[in-house]
Structure 1
């Protein structure tokens, strides 16, 4: 193996640049030529390749987003599109590919391995919804961004004696909502993995009011539903003044935390090591602080499971 390529796909996540840096520098350290593919699978099909040097990834470890850019690519979903991608990889004499992204990225990577092209995946998504790994790149930064917002909102909620409904990202996974809610002292945390009735939420709010509590924070994962709709129902049922905050894409950006920088560096370097050892059709994962490779089937073929003991703990601590 002499020439490898790296791309980022799907939603951006803080730490992706740190992972790209690790791929490039570990690859060059081992005598490889490393190419960046711009704009994900779209760039793969179009042949948008550029060889990267040690200096190409200087001063990027602290930057959010991705210097290789990202794009959705419907064409890659077709057999013809994937064949074009492989042709471009062969044309540029690429021997192995590293893809950084989430579940959709890995599904595409697995298709490439089925066509005979060695591919390794690195989990980069703020949702933390990839099976087989304790953490994904960007998740820690995202929950710290949410916690910062919760702390600021609580100041206003306290001053005006209001109930705030805060909607966070996560698609169909409640990881961001749960850990940010637990760390931020939210009174209720609504996640897709747990059915929470309006009656239960109202009861908790009224219980708090009865003991003299003047404000509350409710965290809603976007997979549960609209915070606007939930806020209207809560205000109607309680009579409490209610405000809505939808954090949106502010959760994706920003300087990655030290944890995400280290995680991304370890995962990016490991991806290169896996390719050099002849591995393919694998994803890099971290389990009990050990970075290792697991089969794509385990990563993308099974549903991610959330540790619901934290939800129970949050319920106890917010009485």
Structure 2
């Protein structure tokens, strides 16, 4: 069973989720935005050391606190790393009071029927067991919807719930992430199909455990209100999806009860050469704007 204190905070606390889960494929871009180009590292090990140093700088910043941040999503490789002599998940909760989540998906399959399902996750149950041992509260698993294709959307949601059952069995809280591409020409129609399918499969979910859902900020304001209110839902959070921070915050604020789970929009403007004072000030401004949009 999930930690009761963490679950209560996740379900009802004010704040948002910081997505710090850039994986192998997205790390070079994340480092480039941070001001570290590929000439600074020669191996994957060096690359991951640099991104861990960047994440550590964010997490240990005095701006990064539980007053505005409910949770943080980590990359799998982060499980085996430390901050100040503690595992990162343990540090987040024990020192910062921030709930640790883990990205468990292994990327996306080729598009078919207007969607990209998740690749299979090898040794899923072993990964979930290791995550629980390291103090992880919940998991996040992403797939992408590119078009309002009923069969494709049903496929993606069914896969998400299949993974969620494994996560629940491991005593963790799954965060389903069926992202709708913000550039989809029929985005609103795709969101209609997605919500219907999510609600249907929530009603059929075995057991009594709760899940969370991470969605694209919807085209229609307040669109996910009934999903947020569903008794099997712990929380509904939103990704920025390619919107810049100001635009994402404006869209988010139109959706009461929906909170942010931003990555690029959170870290935008942070660079390696910044002084600690400038870095912390930039991060504080970003966190405050996203927090305000999340509690609107």
Provide the TM-score with structure 1 as the length reference: 0.28
When normalised by structure 2's length, the TM-score is: 0.30
Identify which of structures 1 and 2 has the higher relative contact order when contacts are C-alpha pairs closer than 8 Å and 6+ apart.
Answer: 1
